[in-house]
Chains A and B, each alone.
Chain A
Amino acid sequence: MERSLVMTTEEAAWVARAKAGDQTAFAEIFARYERRIYAFVYRMMGNADDAFDLTQETFLKAYRALDKTDEELNVNAWLHRIASNACMDVLRRRQRIRWLPWEGAKHERSSTRREDDPEETLIGDETQQLVGKVLAQMSPRNRQAMVLREYEGLSCEDIGEIMGVSRSAVKSILFRGRDEFRRIYQQLEGQR
């Protein structure tokens, strides 16, 4: 099930208040998106340290950029875009995809099952680690699209807005990303 990025009236009010300097409004934005952004960054980077640092950086950048936003701001897409850019910057600086031990087991888990997707199946820790390794070995751009689409369930339009590309470009990236995921998955699974 796709998740909508449509801004709610409530969010519009938060943005207006936050732009006016009301820190409680920013706190409400943070409360709503903290978990989602952290999870996205975690899946992009593969470890809790980066997820912490880059989620913090995302919200600080968002806070400082509130002045420059317009009243029609799509908060979810905006925060994801900032987070995506932060992740890509770090990955570029490292010149390679860094793989740190998968730390899924270190986290509290809000739920191992998503209520909005009856098709999903529970997977074991071993498979979770394998999926994490696959993501870590994917090209950052393909991984970004795959995490947004297949992990977060966002639509191609929303992904295009976040990645700054057209809808048709998103389709191409997802096509490549799906193939890349499967290729690496099968390769790693064969090594087990």
Chain B
Amino acid sequence: MDCRAVRPLISAYMDSDLTPAELRAMQAHVATCPDCAALLDGYRQTRSLLRALPQPLPPARLRPAVFAAATPAYRRRAFFIMLGQRGLTAGAIAVVLIAALFTASLFLRTATNSNVPPQLVAVDPPPGVSVSPGQPVRLTFNKPMDELSVKNAIVIDADPPLSQQERVQLVQTAQWDDKTNTLTIGGGYGFQPDHDYTIRIDPAKAHDRANTPLEVAPAIAFSTSNVVPANPSPTALAAGPPFTPTPVVTPTGTVAPTATEPAAIAAVSPTPPATSALPVTAPAPTVTATPKPANPPTNPPPASQEPPAPARTATPTPQPPAPTATPEPPAPTATAVLPTATTAPPTATAAPPTPTAAPQLPYPVVGSFGTLYQASPKVRDGLGLPSGTVATAPGAYLAFERGAMFWRGDTKTIYVLFYEQPGVWYAFADNWTDGMDPGGGAGPAAGQFYPKRGFGKVWRENEDVRNRLGYALAADETAGPLTIQPFDHGLLLARDAGYVYVLYSNGVFERYQDPGK
């Protein structure tokens, strides 16, 4: 058997498509023919090369785009099915068809007019179904909408009822996509498990870009399953949904993403974070208070689990001043404290940790932090190398109208995060002690509260903080541990709520959804 006759057999061998006789002949030839043996190796290499290609994931906008386009066809299909099910005669169907065509012609004439009213044309998932709490809801409109008005028009009801804080947080997840005219709500851990939700877009508030009000749209009702995705392993996370920059809401409700990187992990720009947005003229925050969570840990906060990095005191200026040797800001007029970042020079070439590459880092970056750090060159380059291991500290959290406060028990620090564009954060020393005025109480409007204890003291004594944060959205803080890891140029911060906060040393922060939550 010559080589020309064997080559097709070698190809067929790759497909397990040889008879026993062909197989024997092929193997005998290959054993003595270096050229055909090399060809077989080449075929195997081809298979390896192609199967090792990564599987590209479709962009999130594909699904709404398909369903928005499919909806008219769906309606036509449902229409004819309805006719058939009701047993209408051919004559009746013809009459209805003529009427439908007439109506359609009117609609088409209207649709060509820029004044065609905006409508909600598709919903994903379809109403009435049960969805995973991590699955977002996508509302697709027939034309570009005024983004701010739509976001302000979101009305969410749930059974069991949501707290004001949960409702606000859910609304804050809303993102508008201009390419598909789609509003996405939820995703990540946006919805609570085992709840019945009703989402409505208030037509009195929502309008298109010509100020034409939204046509009245039915409420969207759906249930969430009680299955909360388990925290996957780093490998599984890599196969799951990406970390997604979460938008933050400005005082007027304008959503401004805290990160400019697109949803695709690999599309994340390696550009370091923006330069500091700390206001030059902002008054130096005066801190004399020590925040105390509503339900403080029964055990006293442990000492820092990290070797205490040199704390830096700094006024909130665009470029933080050189670190001082003062580990704590001088009371009672402590200034904003930058995070426990070291002054090591930037190392933007930190390789992403992988299960086998972890030794390349001075400290492991694991779990959700590791996934984010590995997935986002921007985060990696912005933070630099880890300067300590991940640690858990006693903590507390309080949401505000335009931001949030975190209390970190191990270093007695209050982090104040302003949901601005870009996100800006300050840190204050925690000097509040028992016996001081706890503050608190109901605010001027329903759902508004004065923050208590340490949070309240920072809020009351710093006009800039007060004005930028607005009122608290809950009467009390939520106590719960914080997970923290320091880096050369910032820190990663998370509590068990589905978000990872990236606090860069230059005063900018970003928030990412944790797909593992």
Residues of A bordering B, CB below 8 Å: 20-21, 23-24, 26-27, 30, 34-35, 38-39, 42-43, 48, 51-52, 55-56, 59-60, 63-64, 67, 104-114, 117, 119-123, 127-128, 131-132, 146-147, 149-151, 153, 155-156, 171-172, 174-175, 178-179, 181-182, 185
Contact = CB atoms under 8 A, between A and B. Distances in A.
Given A35-B58, A107-B57, A120-B52, A150 B46 contact: yes
Contacts of B63: 30, 34
B62 A107 contact: no
B46 A175 contact: no
B56 A67 contact: no
Given A24-B129, A27-B124, A178-B11, A104 B54 contact: yes
A91 to B, nearest CB: 19
Interface stretch (B66-74, B209-217, B224-232): B66-74
B325 interface: no
A128 B264 contact: no
Give 6 nearest A-B pairs by CB, closest first.
A38-B58, A107-B56, A175-B11, A109-B54, A150-B50, A21-B81
A128 to B, nearest CB: 6
Contacts of A185: 46, 49
B11 A114 contact: no
A169 to B, nearest CB: 13
Contact of B58 (A34, A121, A131, A146): A34
Interface stretch (B12-20, B91-99, B276-284, B478-486): B12-20
A108 B15 contact: no
A110 B15 contact: no
A109 B266 contact: yes
A112 B57 CA distance: 12
Contact of A67 (B46, B47, B54, B77): B77
Nearest to A34: B58
A60 B265 contact: no
Interface in B12-56: 12, 14-15, 17, 42-43, 46-56
Contacts of A127: 49
Interface residues of B, number: 49
14 contacts: A24-B129, A30-B63, A34-B62, A52-B61, A55-B58, A60-B66, A106-B264, A110-B55, A121-B48, A132-B53, A149-B15, A150-B51, A153-B51, A182-B42
Given A21-B77, A24-B129, A178-B14, 14 more contacts: A21-B74, A38-B57, A39-B55, A52-B65, A60-B73, A67-B77, A105-B266, A106-B267, A109-B57, A128-B53, A156-B15, A175-B7, A175-B8, A178-B42
Interface in B260-281: 263-267
Contacts of B48: 119-121, 123
A123 B58 contact: no
A162 B458 CA distance: 67
Nearest to B235: A111
A171 B15 CA distance: 8
Given A107-B266, A108-B264, A43 B53 contact: yes
A154 B24 CA distance: 25
Given A150-B50, A171-B17, A108 B65 contact: no
